[in-house]
Structure 1
Amino acid sequence: MTSIITNVSAMAALQTLRSVNSDLESAQNRVSTGYRISEAKDNAAYWSIATTMRSDNGAVNAAADALGVGAAKVDVAYAGIESAIDIVTEIKNKIVSASETSVDVTKIQDEISQLQAQLKSIANSASFNGENWLIGSASTTNSVVTAFVRTGSGSVLVATETVSSGSFALFGKGADGMANTSTGLLASIAAISLTSASNMATQLAIVETALKDLTKGAATIGSLSKRIDLQSEFANVLSDSIEKGVSRLVDADMEEESAKLSALQTQQQLAIQSLSIANSSAQNILSLFRQ
C-alpha cells in the first residue's frame, strides 16, 4: 500500500542517511585530528589514561630539565675541585723546591701565598645559580632532582638525591657567605707557612693528606655526575615510551580511517540517491488521477 501521509521508504532511507552522516562526521574528525579517541565520550577509560599519562610525561620532562640544573651544579663543583687539585699539586711542588737549602724560602712562600689566595678564589667562584657546593660545614648537604614518580597507589612524588657536599667543601662558609679559610678541607693548606727547611716534611705531609681528600671528593662528585647522566638518559627513554603507549591508546590508524572515509562517502551518496528514489515514488500516484 502506498500512502501520501506516511512514506515508509523515505523514512528508512532518511534514517540510513543520518546514520551514515554521523559515521562520516566521526571519520572526518579522526582523519583531521589524527586521534581515534579525542574526547572522553569516545572512550572514557582510554581517554582518562591518556590524559593522565600526558600530564605525567610533562612532569617527567620537567624532572629531566631539573636534572640538567643538577648536572650543572655537579659540573661546577667538579671543575672547582679539579682546579683545586692542580693548585695543591703546585703547592706541593713549591714545598719540594723549598727543601733545597740554597733556595730562598721567602720567595717560595710568596708564590705559595698567591696559590693559597687562588684556592680561596676557586672556592668562592664555584657557584651555580647562587648555590656553592665547595663552601660549607661538614654537615652541609645539597640535593638534586632525579625523577618524577607515580606510585602504584596513584600518588606522585619528586625523587631527589641528597649530596653530603660538606664532605668535599674546600672551605667553611663565613658570615658574609664567602669562603672562610680557617675551616674546611683545605684549611690546613691555607695555613701553610714555610719558615725554614726544618718544617718542610710536616708541610709536605699536610699537602699529601689534602690531595687524598680532594681526590676522594672528586670521586664522589664524579659518581654523582654519572648517576645524573644515566638518569637523564632514562628520562628520555621513559618519555618516549610514555608517548608510544599513549599513541597506541588514542591515535587513529590513518590507513584504516582513509579506507573508512572513502567507503562512507560512497554510502552517503547511495543513501542520498535512495532517499531521492523514495521521495519520488509518491509522485507516481499523481499519474493515477490523470485523464
Structure 2
Amino acid sequence: MSSLLTNASAMTALQTLSLTNKNMATTQNRIATGERVSGASDNAAYWSIATTMRSDNKAISSVQDSLGLGAGKVDTAYTGMNAAIEVVDEIKQKLVSAIGASAGDREKIQTEVSEFLGQLAGIAQSANYAGSNLLANAGDATADLSIVSSYNRAADGTVTVEKLAVVAADSQLTAADGTFAGLLAGFDAMDDTGISAAADDAAIEAFLSTVETALTSMTEAASTLGASKKRIDMQADFTSKLSDAIERGVGQLVDADMNAESARLSALQTQQQLGIQALSIANQSSQNILSLFR
C-alpha cells in the first residue's frame, strides 16, 4: 500500500540512522576520553568501583610521600650515627694512648679529645632533616618519628591508616641545646673528660669504660636505624607497586579498547552512509506516487 500520509520506509530508515548516530557518538566519546565507562550512566557498578579505587590511589600517593619523607629523616639520622661512632672510636684510641703517658702528652691528648667531643656534638646537631632530629632532641615522645606507611580499605568499606614508629630516645646523643644526653649522657659526668696532667690511669680507664658503653649503645642504635630505613624502603617499594596494580585494575574496568573502538567507528561510519542513502531512497517513494497521476 502506498500512502502520502505515512512513509513507513522513511520512518524505519530514520530510526536505523538515529541508532547508528547514537552508537557513533558513544564510540567517538570513548575514543576521545579513552574510557568505555566515563560516567555512572555507562556502567554504574564499574564507575562506582573505579571512582573509589582512584580516590584510594590518591591516598596511597600521599602514603608514598610520607614514606619518602620518613626515609630521608631516618637516613639522615643513620648517617649521623655512623659518623658519631667514628668520632667516638677516635676518642677511644686517644684514651688508650693516654694510659701510662706523661703529663705533657696527656695535656695534648686532652686537647684532641676536647675537639672530638665538639665534633661529636656538632654531628648530632647537624643531623636535621625537615625539622626532625633523631640524634639531638628532648629524648621523649615529642621527638618520636611517626611515618604513615599504608592506607587500607576493608571489605566492609572501613579504612585504616598504619604507621611506622621510630623512637627518638633510642638514638639520642645530645639534648636540643647540644649538651650530651641519652646514649652519651656519661660524657658529661667526668670533669675534663678524665684526662689531665693530674689524672691517673684509673680515671682515664673509668672514662674509657664509659666510652665503650656508649659505643655499644650507639652501634645498637645504628642497627635499629638501619633496620627502620630498610623497612621503610621495602614499604615504599611495595606501595609503589600496589599503586600501579590498582591503576591497572581500574583500567581493566573502565578503559576502552582503542583497537576495537577504531574498528567499530569505521563500521558505524559505513552504516551511517548506508542509512542516509536508505532514508534518501525512502523519501523518494512519495515522488514516485505522483507519477501515477501523470
Q: TM-score range by the shorter chain?
A: over 0.9
Take 1:56 and 1:91, find their aligned partners in 2: how far apart are those partners?
A: 52
Letter of the 1:82 counterpart: N
Deviations 1:30-86 (A, max 9, x none): 112111111110001101111111111111111111111000100111111111101
Report if the CA contact (8 A) 1:78-1:221 is conserved.
yes
CA contact (8 A) 1:75 1:225 kept: yes
Matched, 1:211 2:209: no
Pick aligned residue for 2:252 from 245, 248, 270? 248
**Is 1:169 the counterpart of 2:172 in the alignment?**
yes
1:186 counterpart = 2:184: yes
C-alpha displacement at 1:137, in angstroms? 4.7
1:134–1:169 contact (8 Å) kept in structure 2: yes
Matched, 1:199 2:203: yes
| Contact 1:137/1:184 (<8 A) preserved | no
Tell me how far apart the structure 2 counterparts of residues 197 and 107 of structure 1 sit (CA, whole Å): 16
Please state how far the C-alpha of 1:104 moved relative to its aligned partner: 1.6
SS of aligned partner of 2:284: helix
In the aligned structure 2, how far is the partner of 1:172 from the partner of 1:153?
A: 47
Match of 2:272 in 1: 268
Q: TM-score, normalised by structure 1?
A: 0.94
Question: How far apart are the structure 2 equivalents of 1:256 and 1:263?
Answer: 11
- The corresponding residue for 1:87 is 87
Report if the CA contact (8 A) 1:136-1:184 is conserved: no
Cα distance in 1 for residues equivalent to 2:154 and 2:172: 35
1:132 counterpart SS class: coil
- Quick one: distance in 2 between partners of 1:198 and 1:25? 93
The offset of 1:193, in angstroms, is 2.4
Does the aligned pair in 2 maintain the 1:30–1:252 contact within 8 Å?
A: yes
Secondary structure of the 1:266 match is: helix
Aligned-partner Cα distance in 2 for 1:46–1:149: 20
* 1:52 correspondence with 2:55: no
Is this contact kept in 2: 1:105–1:196, CA < 8 A? no
Structure 2 match to 1:18: 18
Question: What letter matches 2:18 in structure 1?
Answer: R
Q: Which amino acid aligns with 2:109?
A: I
8 Å Cα contact 2:194-2:203 kept in structure 1:
no
* Equivalent in the alignment of 1:105: 106
SS at match of 2:150: strand
Aligned to 1:281: 285
**Counterpart Cα distance in 2 of 1:130 and 1:27:** 53
Structure 1 residue 139, shift from structure 2 partner: 3.8
Cα deviation, residue 158, structure 1: 2.6
Q: Distance in 2 between matches of 1:193 and 1:110?
A: 12
Match of 2:78? 78
1:57-68 counterparts in 2 under 5 A?
A: 57-68=57-68
Match of 1:131, SS? coil
Residues 135 and 166 of structure 1 are in contact (CA less than 8 Å); yes or no, is this contact kept in structure 2?
no
Matched with 2:134 is: 133
C-alpha separation in 1, matches of 2:6 and 2:13: 13
Aligned to 1:39: 39
The question of 1:122 aligning with 2:126 is answered no
Instruction: Output the aligned Cα RMSD.
Output: 1.4
Aligned-pair CA distance for 1:118: 1.3
Count of equivalent residues: 285
1:202-240 CA-partner distances (Å, limit 9, x unpaired): 121111111000000000000100000100110111011
Q: Return the TM-score normalized by structure 2.
A: 0.93
Deviates more, 1:61-70 or 1:191-200: 191-200
SS in 1 for 2:194: coil
Aligned to 2:163: 160
